[in-house]
A and B are shown apart, each in its own frame.
Chain A
Amino acid sequence: MARQSYDGIVAALPVTIPYERYSTHAAHWWLGRALGALVRQSGLPKDAVDGVCVSSFTLAPDTAVGLMQHLGMSPRWLDHIPTGGASGVVGLRRAARAVQAGDAGVVACISGDANHVDSFRNTVSQFSRFAQDGVYPYGAGGPNASFALLTAHYMRTYGATREDFGKLCVAQRDNALRYPHALMKKPLTLQQYMEARVITDPIHLFDCVMPCAGAEGFLVMEETRAKDLGLPYARILGTIERHNAWHEDPIQTRGGWTMDVDELYAQAGATPADIDFMQAYDDYPVINFMQIEDLGLCAKGEAPDYVRRNTFTVDGTLPFNTSGGQLSVGQAGAAGGYLGTVEALRQLSNTAGKTQVADARIGLVSGFGMINYDRGLCTAAAILGSAK
């Protein structure tokens, strides 16, 4: 059976609560601020938001349930999505179906995390049972160590070099200098990238994201409603998600996108050539390379060459992570999984300000989440279109 279209359903009103490196506030504060911004800026009464979708790593001991009492909400549809870096796209596609089916009228998709000085160490040590049993006791390197192994293996298999990764990081930093909420404010040169200190070979300093606090959010509703409210929005053309794909591969070289990518483009009625910009999940550069390949912008193993041929800046070829990505904006926990979706909504509603890509009509958003043992488990992607 063909996937049903999302016709008439839109994602609207992208909001970002400016990130902070460390914040004394709890996750509830960040999520509450995101919801508050959505309610105030939409002009909707609070109880008109009758669906809520939450993603957060630091909400414990609460879940979305406790958060609803905390925020005084009475939604008739509630979801709590633990897919980390894939949660923006996954939240979007679930909320869209809920609105389409009439289970909710307006869904607020919110994502946010606290970052206290000790938060990151606690998160990585208790990330999952397989991490606790099978990874953390091995040097406690956190995601750096896991991605170092994937990166080293990818480099050897496909001939990618540190310069290739560096080119993408430098382009993202150029983009970030145009984005007011990026925590990284200084330019980055390829030389600085190459000379940075080694963290976990071959991962060096500028391959790593900086954990921070922050929140992101958007609303999902019918297109007519968004128009009536005068909200910026984008159409949902196609979406996919996949979990624990290719689990028999001895080491990860491809993600779950490859299982569904043809259906993604078919549903959207688009081809890779139609993509005006891409927002990828960039916790490490090697994952950008995998997404570029697995979402069909080039063949498997050809991302190094593709990177050498493109510029990735807001005003260049294949504008990529136009707000700077997590590598330059910061990784606000699960909000990192929303960063690309929210920026794509700004691009397609022509509200991206200084990062605006000219004539952006079709955008590709990709998510990658939860490195659980030796690989990332959750993948998702969406093709979004500007209002007609």
Chain B
Amino acid sequence: MTQALRNPPKKDPVARSRQPTRPPGIRSRSALGLTAAAAEGRFELQQCAECGTVQYPPREVCVHCLAEHLPWKPVSPLGKLLVSTTLHHSNDLYFRERLPWRVGTVRMQAGPSVVAHVHGDLADGDDVRLALKLDRSGQAVMLALPTKNTPHMEDDKILRETACDPKFRRALVTDGKSAVGMAVTQALLDAGAAEVFLGDPQLWRKEPAFEKLAADPRIKVVPLDVTDTDSLERAAGEYGGKVEILVNTADMEREGGLLHAKDVNTARNLLDINVLGMMRLAHAFGPAMCARAADGTRNAVAWVNVLSIYAQMNLPARAVWSATKAAALSLAQGLRAEMRPSGVRVLNVFPGPLDHEWEQLTPPPRVAPKAVAQAIVGALKDGLEEVYVGDVAKEFRDRLAENPKGLERELGA
């Protein structure tokens, strides 16, 4: 049985912070198909379009019939752990710091044999389910897990390393007065977060739900306005070294397209919060998080951007807002690449239309803030990089893959 993780003691202020190292991250281009699946929490392998053979490791042609069409398909992750071993030696710095380490060979029901990281609750000969997870290099790896959940299984070393579990970690929610911000805060606390720094961008505005939430002793209200560099620097100076998960919920949403809303000031405000706000946050909090990416059990692990599906395709009825979300997505991709050397993961969240005051006229289904919060916590626990929230978002994603031009035409109808 997995040993339950304990709330780590206070850090020795004199001890050197361990510098982040990463597991080997070089992969062939074909193997990036595994990374794409892992980033969204899917389990997919190459399956030959001609003969149906499932294969692993990824190849350029079918190992059985040599056909070249090898689409990535969901396959059964079940198999048997044929044999495992415990490494007491490694050639790589990342693993040397984490020895002993378990790996093993799994025979999949789907056919291939897979070398995988092995969960501590498994014994040789056990039935297992494989999962594709992103490791701290941001690349996909195979994990052999018990077929049924076991007590504290998420506290096993390999799962803690590949996930961004809020348990015992401290989070900053940048706009704690928004509906999503409050829901995320509650979900993080429910998931075992040690402390949440709750950003308050509008000290003058009274919000009963916010006051109620702030009464929780695990919550620390922090004046924080993403358009105000001074406020960010003050907050980062005081709490920047304690933020292990940052959830940027700051968002300004307004209706309107280009031709008739001749209001550049609103557009500028949207950009200031939705785009430049992320940039200022990155300046203020990013470097300290990267520096603490290997800082013990309570290391910095994740940066979460609450975006929108309309970051990926413009919704003409909210054209300017969509454009700011698209710009934020582009910045987030840059941020992800810059943070990758440390191992801090950037999670982009793509909800459909939210069920909040600024979507009053949007017909259902709309996504409840609570659902966004649950999706974020779930994605952190699963170590994802992208999560689509709600039916509209999931359909949007499929249509974007099938026919992006068709989607563009229908959004403008």
Chain B residues with CB below 8 A from A202, complex form: 85
Q: Say which residue of A125, A199, A251 sits within 8 Å of B24 (CB atoms).
A: A125
B116: interface (CB < 8 Å)? yes
Is A135 a contact partner of B90 (Cβ separation < 8 A)? Answer: no
A205 smallest CB distance to B (angstroms): 10
Closest B-chain residue to A137, C-beta based?
B24
B28: interface (CB < 8 Å)? yes
A183 smallest CB distance to B (angstroms): 20
A132: interface (CB < 8 Å)? yes
Chain A residues with CB below 8 A from B124, complex form: 152, 156
Q: Say which residue of B86, B88, B113 sits within 8 Å of A374 (CB atoms).
A: B113
B104: interface (CB < 8 Å)? yes
B339 smallest CB distance to A (angstroms): 19
Question: A125-B91, A140-B24, A251-B113 in contact; A134/B85 too (CB < 8 A)?
Answer: no
B277: interface (CB < 8 Å)? no
Is B57 a contact partner of A124 (Cβ separation < 8 A)? Answer: no
B348: interface (CB < 8 Å)? no
Stretch at the interface among A17-25, A80-88, A143-151, A212-220: A143-151
A208 smallest CB distance to B (angstroms): 9
B103: interface (CB < 8 Å)? yes
A250: interface (CB < 8 Å)? yes
B14: interface (CB < 8 Å)? no
A121: interface (CB < 8 Å)? yes
CA distance A136 to B137 in the complex (A): 13
Is B85 a contact partner of A149 (Cβ separation < 8 A)? Answer: yes
Is B83 a contact partner of A156 (Cβ separation < 8 A)? Answer: yes
A116 smallest CB distance to B (angstroms): 15
Is B105 a contact partner of A200 (Cβ separation < 8 A)? Answer: no
Report A190-231 residues with CB < 8 Å from chain B CB.
197-203
B84: interface (CB < 8 Å)? yes
Q: How many residues of A contact B (CB 8 A)?
A: 36
CA distance A201 to B86 in the complex (A): 6
Report A105-123 residues with CB < 8 Å from chain B CB.
120-121
Is B90 a contact partner of A141 (Cβ separation < 8 A)? Answer: yes
Considering residues B82, B83, B141, which has the most beta carbons from chain A within 10 angstroms of its beta carbon? B83
Chain B residues with CB below 8 A from A138, complex form: 103, 115-117, 141-142
CA distance A240 to B180 in the complex (A): 69
Chain A residues with CB below 8 A from B25, complex form: 137
A374 smallest CB distance to B (angstroms): 6
Q: Say which residue of B89, B114, B116, B137 sits within 8 Å of A199 (CB atoms).
A: B89
Chain B residues with CB below 8 A from A201, complex form: 85-86, 88
CA distance A374 to B44 in the complex (A): 20
Chain A residues with CB below 8 A from B116, complex form: 138
Question: A149-B83, A149-B85, A200-B88 in contact; A134/B103 too (CB < 8 A)?
Answer: no
Closest B-chain residue to A120, C-beta based?
B91
B135: interface (CB < 8 Å)? yes
B369: interface (CB < 8 Å)? no
Chain B residues with CB below 8 A from A373, complex form: 57, 115
Is A140 a contact partner of B91 (Cβ separation < 8 A)? Answer: yes
Question: A138-B117, A141-B90 in contact; A152/B85 too (CB < 8 A)?
Answer: yes
* B residues with CB within 8 A of A: 23-28, 30-31, 56-58, 82-92, 94-95, 101, 103-105, 107, 113-117, 124, 135, 137, 139, 141-142
Can you report 7 A-B residue pairs in the complex whose CB atoms are below 8 A from each other?
A: A138-B116, A138-B141, A145-B85, A148-B85, A152-B85, A153-B82, A373-B115
* A residues with CB within 8 A of B: 120-121, 124-125, 129-130, 132-142, 144-146, 148-149, 152-153, 156, 197-203, 250-251, 373-374
